[in-house]
Amino acid sequence: MSGRTALVIIADGQEELESVAAIDILRRGKVDVTVSGLESGDPIACSRGVVIVPDASLSTATAKCPYDMIVLPGGLGGAKANASSAVVKGLLTDQEKGGRYIASICAGPMALISHGIAKGKRVTSHPCIMNELKDAGYEYSEDRVVVDGTLITSRGPGSAVEFGLALVEALEGKDVVASVSGPMMLP
């Protein structure tokens, strides 16, 4: 372990490929990742039917706060759940105040809008929530991964591996990304 920590929050309907790519690649980068279930530690039924058992409930996982990074995957069901959670709002608000990383992909950035996080920053997302982000005053980009200070966003399952590598780069640097990419057989 590098000593760096990340909290990935998942709920029913979260996109499994986006969730697993972030978790897997962060762990390859030696980041200490906690996968937490929004409502409980019970198994999560993801958007394409993969069932993932979280490491802990979110309430248990918050005992280890602060994390260096909080990751909100996409998948409409899970994204909506995170976007309407008061606990997530509290965590993201503290995370932003502390100048620590917030990362989200696909429909995940819905939570930024609803919780009033990182207003005006440069973001991307799945096109399905582009207009909502623009209307809420974010500077919208169609880049596959967008890094604006400590906010990292990306587009969808097809950019999930690039997103995972960007998270490792933010926490551990380019050399660790290179050491992770080789064995993964990236182009």
Spatial distance between the Cα atoms of 74 and 91, rounded to a whole number of angstroms: 18
Length of the chain: 187
The CA distance from 186 to 44, in Å, is 29
Other CB atoms closer than 10 Å to residue 28's CB: what's the count?
Answer: 18
3-state class (DSSP) for residue 176: helix
Is residue 128 flagged as an active site residue? no
CA 83 to chain centroid, in Å, comes to 13
Q: Are 132 and 99 in contact (CB under 8 A)?
A: no
29 binds a copy of itself (CB under 8 A): no
Q: Which two tokens stand for residue 124?
A: 């991307």
> Quick one: 48 or 119, whose CB is closer to a copy of itself?
48
Q: Does 35 bind a copy of itself (CB under 8 A)?
A: yes
Q: With residue 133 as reference, give the H or E element that holds it.
A: helix 130-135
For this structure, is 115 an active site residue? no
Q: Which is nearer to a copy of itself, 16 or 172 (CB)?
A: 16
Residue of 2, 30, 39, 52 that binds a copy of itself (CB under 8 A): 52
For position 107 contacting Cu ion by CB under 5 A, the verdict is yes
Please identify which residue in 7, 17, 70, 79 interacts with a copy of itself, judged by CB under 8 A: 17
Contact positions vs a copy of itself (CB under 8 A): 15-17, 20-21, 23-25, 27-28, 33, 35, 43, 48-53, 55, 106, 126-127, 144, 155-159, 161, 181, 183-187
So which residues are the catalytic ones?
Answer: 106, 126
Contact positions vs Cu ion (CB under 5 A): 74, 106-107, 126
